[in-house]
Amino acid sequence: MIDRYSPDLAPLLEQAQAAYRRRDDDEFAALLEKAIAVAPSRIDLHLCLANKHIQTDRPELAVAIYDGLFDTLRDDVDVLLLLAHWRRYLGDAGEADAVRWRLAGIRPDRAVDLARIWEAVDLWLGKPVSDKLPTLPKGTKKPAILVLGHKLADDGSILPALAERLEKALEAANRYPGAFMIVTGGLPRGGRVEAQAMREWLVERGIAEDRIHEEGYARDTVENLIFSRYILDMQAADAAVVVTSGYNVRRAGACLEVLSVDYGSDRPVFAVSSGKYEDDGKDRLKVYRDVLRAYGIPMMAAYPHLAER
């Protein structure tokens, strides 16, 4: 097939961007398929469509796309990494290892990174979700308590799910009096973002204001961890205790583990549930999906129209 420039591509991508933002998954996929037909050499569009299938819990469709790309792009680093990762998720460990070894022959550093990511995945998927605060390693001098945000009510008040996280964070603050705190969340409601509301809640209950770092820019769980990692490093935290709801514990722990190792820290990472954990059966998919985002591979990467939400 010979590629020809088409003025139809930009409008299709603009419509796809709008569909992605309003979470119209079927419309987004249909528009991406049209865009790919117009510009088949735009591999970034193929990857966006595959990653949309990941987001909608259809990884087998994503792997079919990665396989198709691999047929012609046998040395593309991103294609190899994604194919290996999601082959492993689907249970094809032998094929995943074979693809990773091919990656090792091209970019050994990326193959090592992928093996380390899998170690974090296996570690956290193998851990029970608990609301019990951990015993910090002997010699810990500057631990951090990292509290993940949750959407506020329309008037900016704190909803029960976030209040539960803050109650557990307060318990942690009393358990670890030498720890500093990070409250993270940047979605605005009622004239303030989550982090502001969280800080005010903690201060009202006796936590010293200068003990709390306010990260008010993150839009989701992975950004919570990415932006908070900067503060952890700047403050030289030597342990991190993440407080979140049960359904977030494993992916938060795995993502922060990947971030810490990627950026040169060997700090131990703990994650605790703020309440009762009810398994929705999606932990494994969420962990596999979000560790790649933490590593630096966005779900949407077709500049300028499609970018991480």
pLDDT at residue 215, as a whole number: 98
> For residues 194 and 149, is the Cβ–Cβ distance under 8 A?
yes
pTM of the model: 0.94
Cα–Cα dist 213/185, whole Å: 12
Residues in the chain: 309
For residue 266, the model assigns a pLDDT of: 85
Closest by Cα among 129, 137, 142, 140 to 168: 129
CA dihedral 217, 223, 229, 232 (to 10 degrees): 40
Which residues neighbour 205 within 8 Å (Cβ) at sequence distance 6 or greater? 170
Query: What is residue 309's predicted lDDT score, i.e. its pLDDT?
Result: 58
10-residue averages of pLDDT along the chain (309 residues): 87 95 95 96 96 95 97 95 98 97 97 96 96 96 98 97 98 97 97 98 97 97 96 96 97 95 86 92 95 94 81
Task: Using CA atoms of 85, 287, 199, 141 in order, give the dihedral in degrees to the nearest 10.
Answer: -80
Q: What is the pLDDT of residue 222?
A: 96
The pLDDT value recorded for residue 181 is 98
